[in-house]
C-alpha cells in the first residue's frame, strides 16, 4: 500500500503527512521561484485532500489499520527476513484495498496524440457487485488508440493542478492524469471553465465519495441548471443535499464527513506513540468548518487577498506537513505542547520514524540507503555510520530509524543472511 502522490517535481506521502520537493522550499513564499512555489502548492493540495475529504480520510484510515497489522506481524514473529513478505492481512484490509484499486483509475502518466475524446459510463462487475466507471476513448482518425478509466487519481491530480496554476501558470503537466478533470469539464460543461474555482469546488465534492470520477461526471451535469452559483455556493449546496449510503442508511456528505474525521482522529492516535497535541488544532478547525458548511480553501480563492496571503491563511487554519527537499533541507512543524513550542512536533517525528522503517523493511524503495541520510549528514553533528546503507536496525547511534526499530525489536529478529 505504497501510494505516494506522484508529481513531476515532488510527492506527498499520505498517512505520514510528509512532502518531498525536488526543488527549494522557504516558508517565506515570496523568496521562492515560481516553479518551486507551484510545486509546493500542488503537494499541499494533496495534504488538504488527505485531511478534509472522505476519500482522503478513509484512505488513511485503511492504511493505519494496514500498518497495525504489519506491526502485529513484526511483534509476533521471532525471525524476520528483509523484505518482509507474506504478511497475513485480514479480509478487511484485503477488501478495503480492492475497493481502493477498483476506483483508482488508469495510473499511467502520459501525453498521447489524439484527434478527439469520447466519454461514456461503463458498467463493471466485481464479486457480484455492479458499479459504473467513467471512460475516455482517445480517437485518432477513426481508430480508438487508447481507453482510459478516469478514477480517484484523475480527480486528485486534476484539482491539485488547478490550484497549482494560480502560482505557476507555466507548469506543463502530462495530459493524463493531470488534465483529465479539465477535459471532462470541456466535454460536459464547458462554460464552467470560465471560473475554474467552480471546478475546484466540484473536485472537493467528488472526493467526498468513494467513486470520485463518477461523482464529478454527475455533478458537472447537475450544475448546468444553476450557472449563477459560484464555487463556494456550489460546495455549500451539494455538501448537504448529496448523500452517501452507508450500511443501508442515507447520510448527507456533511454528516458522514464529520463521523469520518472522528474515526480518522482515533486511528491516527492509535498508530503513534506521541499524543496528538499538534493535530488537535487541525481537527478542531476542520470540524468547525464542516459544521459551518463552508470551505476555507474556496473562501480564500474568492477573497481579495494576494496569493501568498491566501496560502499563509490556509496554513494558519490547516497547519503544514513535514517537508524535505532534494538538497537535504528539512522543515518540521513546531510543537504545540507547553514547553515544546520551539521544537519539532513529536507527532511528526514519530510518523517520520515509522515511515522510513516501513519503507526499508517492506522495500518500497529499491535503494536500501536510509531516506534521511542526506538530512542526517547536514545535521550539526553527523550521526551517520556504515549501517545507514542497508542494516539500519543495527545502528548504535540514536536516530529516527533506531528509535522505531528498537521499539519493534528489529535488531533481534532480522536475519541478515
Label residues 80-90 b or e (16+ Cβ within 10 Å = b): bebebeeeebe
Q: Which residues lie closer than 8 Å to 236 by C-beta, 6 or more apart? A: 293, 294
Is 357 within 8 Å of 363 (Cβ atoms)? no
Is 38 within 8 Å of 317 (Cβ atoms)? no
The pLDDT of residue 144: 97
> SS3 of 350, please?
helix
User: How buried is 57 (Cβ within 10 angstroms: 0-12 exposed, 13-18 middle, 19+ buried)?
Assistant: buried
The pLDDT of residue 6: 42
The pLDDT of residue 340: 65
Closest CA to 350 of 65, 119, 156, 67: 67
Is 265 within 8 Å of 276 (Cβ atoms)? yes
User: Could you state, in chain order, the average pLDDT of each consecutive group of 10 residues for the chain (417 residues)?
Assistant: 58 94 94 96 98 97 95 93 91 93 94 97 87 97 96 97 97 95 98 97 97 97 97 97 86 96 95 88 95 97 97 96 89 76 84 92 82 79 88 90 92 77
pTM beyond 0.85: the answer is: yes
CA 357 to chain centroid: 20
| Whole-number Cα distances in Å, 200 to 97, 181, 204, 275, 356 | 27, 10, 6, 34, 33
The pLDDT of residue 417: 43
| Whole-number Cα distances in Å, 127 to 102, 122, 131, 135 | 11, 17, 11, 21
The pLDDT of residue 128: 78
The pLDDT of residue 276: 87
The pLDDT of residue 4: 46
The pLDDT of residue 339: 61
**Residue ranges of E strands in 99-188:** 116-126, 129-140, 143-150
Cis peptide bond prior to 177, omega within 30° of 0: yes
Q: Quick one: angle between helices 231-241 and 253-271, nearest 10?
A: 90
DSSP state of 115: S
Query: In the chain, what are the domain boundaries?
Result: 5-331
Is 107 within 8 Å of 174 (Cβ atoms)? no
The pLDDT of residue 12: 95
User: How buried is 294 (Cβ within 10 angstroms: 0-12 exposed, 13-18 middle, 19+ buried)?
Assistant: middle
Is 205 within 8 Å of 215 (Cβ atoms)? yes
In angstroms, the CA 223 to CA 299 distance is 19
Q: Radius of gyration over alpha carbons of the chain, in Å?
A: 22
The pLDDT of residue 5: 46
Amino acid at each position: 500500500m505504497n501510494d505516494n502522490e506522484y508529481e513531476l517535481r515532488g510527492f506527498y506521502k499520505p498517512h505520514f503527512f510528509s512532502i518531498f520537493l525536488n526543488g527549494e522550499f522557504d516558508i517565506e513564499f515570496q523568496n521562492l521561484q515560481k516553479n518551486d512555489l507551484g510545486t509546493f502548492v500542488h503537494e499541499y493540495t494533496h495534504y488538504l485532500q488527505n485531511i478534509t475529504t472522505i476519500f482522503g480520510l478513509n484512505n488513511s484510515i485503511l492504511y493505519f489499520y494496514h500498518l497495525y497489522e504489519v506491526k502485529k506481524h513484526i511483534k509476533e514473529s521471532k525471525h524476520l527476513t528483509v523484505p518482509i513478505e507474506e504478511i497475513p492481512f485480514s479480509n478487511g484490509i484485503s477488501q478495503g484495498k480492492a475497493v481502493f484499486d477498483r476506483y483508482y483509475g488508469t495510473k499511467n502518466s502520459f501525453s498521447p496524440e489524439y484527434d478527439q475524446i469520447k466519454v461514456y459510463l461503463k458498467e463493471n462487475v466485481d464479486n457480484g457487485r455492479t458499479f459504473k466507471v467513467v471512460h475516455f476513448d482517445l480517437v485518432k482518425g477513426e481508430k480508438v488508440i487508447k481507453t482510459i478509466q478516469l478514477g480517484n487519481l484523475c480527480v486528485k491530480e486534476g484539482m491539485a493542478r488547478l490550484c497549482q496554476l494560480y502560482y505557476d501558470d507555466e507548469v506543463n503537466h502530462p495530459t493524463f492524469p493531470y488534465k483529465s478533470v479539465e477535459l471532462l469539464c470541456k466535454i460536459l460543461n464547458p462554460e464552467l471553465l470560465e471560473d475554474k474555482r467552480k471546478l475546484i469546488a466540484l473536485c472537493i465534492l467528488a472526493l467526498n465519495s468513494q467513486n470520485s470520477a463518477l461523482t464529478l461526471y454527475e455533478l458537472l451535469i447537475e450544475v448546468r441548471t444553476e450557472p449563477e452559483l459560484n464555487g463556494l455556493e456550489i460546495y455549500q449546496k451539494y455538501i448537504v443535499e448529496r448523500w452517501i449510503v452507508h450500511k443501508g442508511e442515507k447520510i448527507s456528505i456533511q454528516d458522514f464527513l464529520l463521523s469520518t474525521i472522528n474515526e480518522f482522529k482515533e486511528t491516527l492516535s492509535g498508530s503513534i506513540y506521541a499524543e496528538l497535541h499538534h493535530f488537535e488544532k487541525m481537527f478542531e478547525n476542520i470540524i468547525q468548518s464542516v459544521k459551518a458548511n463552508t470551505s476555507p480553501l474556496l473562501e480564500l480563492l474568492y477573497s481579495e487577498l494576494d496569493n501568498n496571503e491566501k496560502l499563509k491563511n490556509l496554513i494558519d487554519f490547516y497547519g503544514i506537513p513535514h517537508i524535505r527537499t532534494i538538497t537535504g533541507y528539512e522543515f518540521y512543524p513546531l510543537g504545540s505542547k507547553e514547553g515544546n513550542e520551539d521544537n519539532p512536533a513529536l507527532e511528526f517525528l514519530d510518523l517520520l520514524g515509522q515511515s522510513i522503517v516501513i519503507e526499508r523493511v517492506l522495500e518500497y524503495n529499491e535503494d536500501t540507503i536510509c531516506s534521511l541520510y542526506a538530512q542526517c549528514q547536514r545535521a550539526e553533528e553527523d550521526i551517520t555510520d556504515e549501517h545507514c546503507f542497508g542494516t539500519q536496525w543495527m545502528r548504535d547511534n540514536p536516530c529516527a530509524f533506531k528509535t522505531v526499530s528498537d521499539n519493534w525489536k528489529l535488531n533481534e529478529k532480522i536475519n541478515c543472511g
